């Protein structure tokens, strides 16, 4: 149980285009989902917290207009990287917190984005 999927697992896009990453909780409902990015040999950096049916809360320094987050249902959150640039190339990981828990988080397998 407690499986989270991400799609796509990897994507290559051209500079200036937009990319959408999906995060789904497959066997549980998640009011809250988290989006992280991770650069090589560095720890996870929380980008934003998304709550179903409301606006995401972005961490300081994360551009909300560039990283659009939508959490339209209890099992799906999407992150859209708009007008991507090479410096956006990174490993993007989502996690989901079950509605039944205050502390559990289950991670998706991650999406590797390369912007050329």
List residues near other proteins by CB under 8 A. Answer: 34, 42-46, 49, 91, 93, 102-103, 105-110, 112
Q: Which two tokens stand for residue 12?
A: 């290559």
Least distance CB 86 / other proteins (angstroms)? 19
Q: Which two tokens stand for residue 52?
A: 């179903």
Closer residue to other proteins, CB minimum distance, 14 or 40 = 40
Q: Is residue 34 within 8 Å of residue 102, measured between CB atoms?
A: no
Least distance CB 96 / other proteins (angstroms)? 12
Q: In the chain, what are the helix, strand and coil shares in percent, each to the nearest 5?
A: 5, 55, 45
Least distance CB 82 / other proteins (angstroms)? 24
């Amino acid at each position: 149980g407690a499986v989270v999927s991400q799609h796509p697992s990897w994507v290559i896009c051209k500079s200036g285009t937009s990319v959408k990453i999906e995060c789904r909780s497959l066997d549980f409902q998640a009011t809250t989902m988290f989006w992280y990015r991770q650069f090589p040999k560095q720890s996870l950096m929380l980008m934003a917290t998304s709550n179903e049916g409301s606006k995401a809360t972005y961490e300081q320094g994360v551009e909300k207009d560039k990283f659009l987050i939508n959490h339209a249902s209890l099992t799906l959150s999407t992150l859209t990287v708009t007008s991507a640039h090479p410096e956006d190339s990174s490993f993007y990981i989502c996690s989901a917190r079950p509605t039944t828990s205050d502390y559990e988080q289950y991670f998706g397998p991650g999406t590797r984005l390369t912007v050329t």
